[in-house]
Copies of this chain bind each other. A is one copy, B any other.
Amino acid sequence: MNRPIINSWQSVEQEVRRRIQTREWAPGELIPNEADLALEFGCARATVNRALRRIADSGLIDRRRKAGTRVALQPVARATLDIPVIRREIEDRGMTYSYLLLSRTEAVPPHAVSATMQLPAHDAQLHVVALHLGNETPYALEDRWISLAAVPAARQERFESVSSNEWLLANAPWSHGQITFAATQAGREDAARLACDPGQAMFVIDRLTWNNNAAITRVRLKYPPGYQLRTDI
């Protein structure tokens, strides 16, 4: 035996993952408890704990007090998606960012919008439609409703040079939200704005953002055909 030294949580994680991957510890099987592993690896129990906690977070093992730690039978693939500011997303792809405000009005939103935002159906909200471009080419079409009750200061902002995306990040704190991904066909207007053909498949991201119990904004981003969202697992 000429094993690499195991004395950091990273090396413990790597070794445990290796044993699971090679089926040395088979799916469904109980693995040794933290104290035993610490003894075997010659490190502190806290070090083993941190490694196993990370592996559990990734879905590869299941841990329960008293019952111990088991290798997951059907590991759930867990992907982490970074949803940056659109400007950054475009610049990270090596393109030059630009922004075009298409409309900014105060209006009563469709019921679907006021309902998901849990706001009174008859209240006017700020409606911003804008185009994000990379290298002067349409990159994403943004359709946003902003709650004037939650963000009254938005009334003073024209959103002509600063996108509502960035303005809200700087001016409206949020606590949590929900993201939905879907696909939909481009309508005539979408197509004209995104420089594609009507009927083509657009990738759509809906984001609903809250500050505690108050809805801040609901934004729909439509991406032209060919757009891909990619992540490692």
Q: Which residues of A come within 8 Å of B, CB atoms? A: 17, 20-23, 27, 59, 74-85, 88, 166, 169-170, 173-185, 199-204, 207, 211, 223, 225-233
A223 to B182 CA separation, bound complex (whole angstroms):
10
In the complex this chain forms, how many copies of it are found? 2
**Using Cβ atoms and an 8 Å threshold, which residues of chain B touch A223?**
183
Residue among A20, A77, A178, A199 with the most chain B CB within 10 A?
A77
Whether A233 and B169, one on each chain, are in contact in the complex, defined by CB atoms closer than 8 angstroms, is no
**Using Cβ atoms and an 8 Å threshold, which residues of chain B touch A77?**
82-84, 177, 179, 207
**Using Cβ atoms and an 8 Å threshold, which residues of chain B touch A20?**
173
A140 to B77 CA separation, bound complex (whole angstroms):
18
**Using Cβ atoms and an 8 Å threshold, which residues of chain B touch A183?**
183-184, 201-204, 223, 225, 227
Task: Choose among B84, B180, B184 the residue that contacts A230 (Cβ–Cβ < 8 A).
Answer: B180
Residue of B nearest to A173 (CB): B21
